[in-house]
Structures are given as C-alpha cells and as structure tokens.
Structure 1
Amino acid sequence: MDDIYVFCWCVVGLLVLGTSPSIGDLEAEPTCLSRFDYDYKMLQKIVSLEQTIQNLKDSLTESKNKIEDMSRENEQKIQNLKDLLAESRDKIDSGSIYIRWGRFKCQNNAEVVYKGFTAGKKWSDKGSGSDVICLPEDPSWLNYSNSNHLRGSVYGTEINIEEPSGVFEKKVNDQNLPCVACHIKKGSVIMIPGRGHCYTGWNLEYKGYLMTEWHGHPGPHNHVCVDHHPDFMQGGGENNDDHILYLTISKCGSLPCPPYANDRELACVVCSK
C-alpha cells in the first residue's frame, strides 16, 4: 500500500506545483483578496485532493479484498477438484482379485467375492477345459437342456497324495477342495511358483504347494497354488477319481540343480503390492 500513497502524493505535487494557470483559468478563478485568501483556497484544493486519494485508497482496498476472496474461492474449487479426482481414481483402480485354492475364507485384509468348489476336467478325459476353475456355491442358470451329448464336463476336485506325506500338516488324501475368490484394494497380485515366501516389498496373501494333474494323465493341465493348510468340503473323503490334483516336483536337467533339487515338492506363494 506504500506504493499507492507515493503515487497519490506525486499526483498532488504535479497538480499543485507543476500546473501554470492559463488566462481562462485566471478569469474563472475568483479574485483573492489577500495572501491568506489564496492560501486558504489552495488548502481547500489540497483537502479535496486528499479526499480523492482516500477514495482511491478505499477503492483499491475493496478491490484487493475482492481479489483475495476470489483467490480463496478458487483455491477451494481446486481442492474440491483434487478430492473428486482422487475419489474417481480410487474407483477406477479398484484393486485385484485372486483365487485362494483349498480355503473357504480370505485373509483379513481381503473381501470375499464368492465361495465355491474347486473343479476341472476328469483325469481320463482327452478333452474338456485344461484349467482348474472355482465354481460358486450358489449357481444360477440361463437356458439349459440337461443333455450330455457333445458337451465338455466339469468335476469336483480331490487331492491324491500318499499318506503320511510329510508335506501337508494334516491328512488330505481324497479330500474335496473348496475355493474362494478374494478382492484386495492393492493393484497387483502374483502367484510365484517355487517360493514359500514373498520377495521384499510384497505382502503375503497365502502360501501353499504347487499342484496339477499327474504327468501320465491326458492333458494339458494348469497349475494352481493350494493353501498349505486346506479346508475340506463337507461329506468328502471318498475316492471318486474325477478331477484330481497331485503335488508337483522339480526335475533336474534343463532345470538347474542347485538351486533346485530333484524330486522335491514345489512350494508356491501368492503375493500382493
């Protein structure tokens, strides 16, 4: 505001000291009777100029206040837009989903999308799907014909393993496996075969053993990571020989040993970040 005061007083100086009255001005000005009268009239002009300066100062102050108010409003609008953008980003980046094979429940930090039954092709079928799937426990139907002609087939999954195995912490042979789809807010999930622990910077979702079909069964078949402490389906335990999972072992040769070992059961881990 000091710059404003300097500017205004410069205007006063120019008006008072730098202006020479013209003949028309002398005729228009009332005649001064004395030096006092002249000084009085000049004082009146100075007072009028000071009032004009004060009015300018008030106007500038009002404009400054309006600009500050507009700046605060704009800052609030920008913050609101940032908050809206962050909220939209959270909705777009909605996390990741993985299947926890052999369990009914997810970890505490994960949301259950659905629970179900581990399933796949019959071990002796040449066709049908090669992947292991997690069928929901509450199916719903579209159109159907109840025909078995020219169809693929899906069976429930059981574990086939010699007991005692020394691998799982409890008896698992011929038990039917559940599964659960888990949702986490983290953006990345990876299943790492051949590891029992996550790498640094990654969070453990669950650990277990790499399982697939026996190598002598018609294939192909994919691999899944079955929880090291599995749950079992109620009423299971019979040897149905439908879709069967076996432990997977490493074989030396093209696979270097060490670090791997021949005929050793492979662990697996599901990690998030």
Structure 2
Amino acid sequence: MLQGYLTGQLSSALGAYQVEALRREFKSFSDVIEESMKRFREEVNATIQEKESKTKGNRNIVYTRWGKKTCPSNAKLIYSGFVGGSHYSHMGAAVDPLCLPRDPEWGKHVDGIDARRAYVFGAEYETDTFISQYASYHEHDVPCALCLVHDRSVVKTFPARENCYKGWNLEYQGYLMAGYYNHSAGTSYTCVDKNPDTLHGGHANKNGYLFYFVEARCGSLKCPPYVEGKELLCVVCSKK
C-alpha cells in the first residue's frame, strides 16, 4: 500500500515537471516567433518607406516655357529652341504650337516641297497694338525652352491669374496668347512669358504661327468678374 502511494506521488510530480517544462518550452518558442514577426514587420516597413522615398525623389515634370530661351532658376534646361506651328491661313492647320530643338535630326526624306504634306513654320509675335513694351516685339520670331523640375508631380497653366493658388509653386508668369479670331487656322491658348525673348535675326514679317494677346468679351463670359476688352494674364504653376 505504501509502495502504491509513493508510486502515485512520483508519477504526479513527474507529470507536473513535464507540464512545466513544456510550458517553458512553448513560451520560449512563442518569444522567438514574436521577435521574428517584429523583425519582419520592421523590414517590410523599411522597404515600403525606401520605395516611397525613391518614388518621391524620382518625381519630375517637364514643361515648355513659351517666349523664353531659358528656364526659371528652379528648373533645368533640357533645350532652348524655336516655336513652330502651322500657318495662320491654312484651313487644315494643326492647332498646337511646337517647341522645336535647334539640332534637328532627319530620317528618310524626299527633298523639295510636296503639296501632300502637313507643314511647320516659325512663329511671330503680333503685338503692335499693345503697350509700348510689347509693341517692340512685334513680328519678332518666338523662342521657347523645355524645362525639367525635380520633386514635382503636376504642372498646370492657370488662365486669368497672375499668382499661383495656395499650395502651388510658381514656374513663370505670362500673358495668354492665341491666333487671331478671324484667321482660318485654329490655334490653342498658350501662356507666353510676360518678359519675352526674341530670336536673333528674326525681325521680319514672314508670318507662320502667330501669337496675339487674348482679351475678354462679355456675354456668356461673366462680367464681372471679367472686364470687356481687358487682356488676360496667365501663370504656370507646379505642385509636389
């Protein structure tokens, strides 16, 4: 009887020891798993932050500064070129102006003018009826600059504005210009720098793609806030 009692006590003590040993082993295993998961989460978060940082650092915008040979101080010049476009009198004209590089490259071509083609001409300011500062640019050829800005995600032209809205960064200020209303060719509204440059040797009435100031006409356009006959400003702005 005593032997049975001792055997039972021993078995109970041994069972308790085994349970405690298993508990300690499980806790140790759980600690290892928890530490591994913590390191995994930290590595994943670090990877995500690194990718977001690289993506943010690689955000760039490119825009054309019409009427200037150079870019603003915050931008890198890709190239300085000539404004080109369709002739103002052509009914089948392309609408948008181009910023043509000074170093064109050519593919296969046929020399001579072909009537079954689209054409690109140079551009001129048509500013003789405006204030004297701008009248002096009349019939001068128009330059352009292609500009690169880092750490920006969007660039936008705001018509009828001199300043950017809150949260936007100024690229350049200008006047809104387009083709003459009664010419055959369609054109697009373009923000031309308010302190324009001209191309050397380009003061001659050779026409081509023409830039006229844009003024407000009341009617379906609400006046106020707009004013009949006033020339419209514009501003080019970027945002991170």
Q: 1:127 to 1:26 in 2, by over 3 A?
A: closer
Q: Which moved more, 1:217-226 or 1:76-85?
A: 76-85
Q: What residue in structure 1 maps to residue 188 of structure 2?
A: 222
Q: What residue in structure 2 maps to residue 110 of structure 1?
A: 75
Shift of 1:50: 9.4
Q: What residue in structure 1 maps to residue 32 of structure 2?
A: 66
- Whose relative contact order is higher, 1 or 2, with alpha carbons under 8 Å and at least 6 apart? 2
Q: What residue in structure 2 maps to residue 13 of structure 1?
A: none
Bigger proportion of residues as helix = 1
Q: What residue in structure 1 maps to residue 217 of structure 2?
A: 251
| Aligned partner (choices 118, 140, 154) of residue 175 of structure 1 | 140
Q: Is the 8 A contact 1:116 1:135 kept in 2?
A: yes
Q: Is the 8 A contact 1:99 1:182 kept in 2?
A: yes
Tell me the alpha carbon deviations over residues 18-48 of structure 1, each in whole angstroms, 9 at most, x when there is no partner.
xxx7x8x54997xxxxxxxxxxxx8x99998
Aligned ranges 1:154-165 → 2 under 5 Å: 154-162=120-128, 165=131
Q: What residue in structure 1 maps to residue 62 of structure 2?
A: 97
Matched, 1:232 2:198: yes
Q: What residue in structure 1 maps to residue 176 of structure 2?
A: 210
Aligned residues: percent identity?
30
Alpha-carbon distance between aligned partners in 2 of 1:66 and 1:27, rounded to the nearest angstrom:
41
SS at match of 2:74: coil
Shift of 1:61: 6.0
Letter in 2 for 1:119: G
Matched, 1:120 2:85: yes
TM-score with structure 2 length normalisation?
Answer: 0.80
Letter in 1 for 2:68: R
Tell me the alpha carbon deviations over residues 29-81 of structure 1, each in whole angstroms, 9 at most, x when there is no partner.
7xxxxxxxxxxxx8x99998998688557635643542343133212331243
Q: Is the 8 A contact 1:164 1:171 kept in 2?
A: no
Q: 1:267 to 1:166 in 2, by over 3 A?
A: farther
TM-score with structure 1 length normalisation?
Answer: 0.71
Q: What residue in structure 2 maps to residue 134 of structure 1?
A: 99
Q: 1:161 to 1:50 in 2, by over 3 A?
A: same
| Aligned partner (choices 181, 187, 192) of residue 153 of structure 2 | 187
Alpha-carbon distance between aligned partners in 2 of 1:272 and 1:84, rounded to the nearest angstrom:
25
* Structure 2: gaps of 5 or more residues: none
Shift of 1:133: 1.3
Matched, 1:263 2:221: no
Q: 1:166 to 1:198 in 2, by over 3 A?
A: farther
Tell me the alpha carbon deviations over residues 221-245 of structure 1, each in whole angstroms, 9 at most, x when there is no partner.
2121100011222222233223221
Tell me the alpha carbon deviations over residues 205-235 of structure 1, each in whole angstroms, 9 at most, x when there is no partner.
2111111122232221212110001122222
Q: 1:259 to 1:57 in 2, by over 3 A?
A: closer
* Structure 1: gaps of 5 or more residues: 1-20, 30-41
